[in-house]
């Protein structure tokens, strides 16, 4: 859980999301508590209804106990064996997640450094002033003599 001083250090938007996460977490915990109570009631009813004494034989050992107790012990052993089998992959996943988080943090730090360098380069670059900008001179079109519009002028020019 997060303390109130850390909650104040968050931005208002992060604070709202964090408070929502806390209320959601509390609600989930209440649901787990209710489910645990229901399971305890069901186990109690099961134990009261199945109080017969049975003999359990394993290799050379013989044990007597109530049916409910034997079933609950068997169930607990099954959960324990399942946890032992799945724990190596869970540990491997956590180690991989930790390595990926470290890599992510280093890449974020590198990105931040590159952004600082880019901003420094942009600040160091001086934009050209209007006097320094290259100018391209476009020559004005030369005056072209007007062509004769009548056929008489063209024939007289050709004859001379």
Confidence band for 54, pLDDT divided at 50, 70 and 90: confident
Strand extents, DSSP E, the chain: 53-58, 61-66
Average pLDDT over residues 13-37: 75
Q: Look at 75 and 145; give whichever has higher pLDDT.
A: 75
Instruction: Record the tokens describing residue 95, joined without a space.
Output: 């180690």
b/e map 59-88, b = 16+ CB within 10 Å: eeeeeeeebbebbeeeeeeeeeeeeeeeee
Q: According to the model, what pLDDT value does residue 128 have?
A: 56
- Residue 10 phi, psi (nearest 5): -75, 155
Q: According to the model, what pLDDT value does residue 63 have?
A: 85
Q: Look at 71 and 127; give whichever has higher pLDDT.
A: 71
Could you say which DSSP state residue 117 is in? H
Instruction: Record the tokens describing residue 148, joined without a space.
Output: 């004769």
Burial of 149 (0-12, 13-18, 19+ CB in 10 A): exposed
Average pLDDT over residues 70-86: 87
Q: Are 7 and 18 in contact (CB under 8 A)?
A: yes
Strand partners, 25: none
Q: According to the model, what pLDDT value does residue 136 have?
A: 63
User: What percent of the chain has pLDDT above 90?
Assistant: 18
Q: According to the model, what pLDDT value does residue 145 have?
A: 58
Q: Is the pLDDT of residue 17 over 60?
A: no
This prediction has a pTM of: 0.41
Please tell me the least confidently modeled range out of 23-27, 53-57, 88-92. Answer: 23-27
SS3 133: coil
């Amino acid at each position: 859980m997060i303390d109130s001083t850390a909650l104040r250090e968050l931005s208002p938007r992060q604070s709202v999301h964090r408070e929502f996460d806390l209320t959601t977490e509390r609600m989930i915990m209440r649901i787990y508590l209710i489910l645990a109570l229901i399971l305890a009631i069901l186990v109690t009813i099961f134990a009261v209804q199945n109080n017969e004494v049975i003999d359990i034989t394993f290799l050379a050992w013989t044990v007597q106990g109530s049916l409910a107790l034997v079933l609950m012990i068997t169930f607990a052993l099954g959960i324990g064996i399942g946890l032992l089998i799945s724990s190596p992959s869970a540990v491997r996943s956590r180690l991989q997640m930790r390595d990926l988080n470290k890599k992510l943090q280093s890449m974020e730090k590198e990105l931040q450094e590159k952004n600082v360098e880019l901003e420094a380069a942009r600040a160091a670059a001086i934009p050209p002033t209007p006097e320094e900008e290259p100018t391209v001179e476009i020559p004005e079109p030369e005056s072209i003599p007007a062509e004769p519009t009548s056929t008489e002028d063209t024939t007289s020019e050709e004859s001379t």
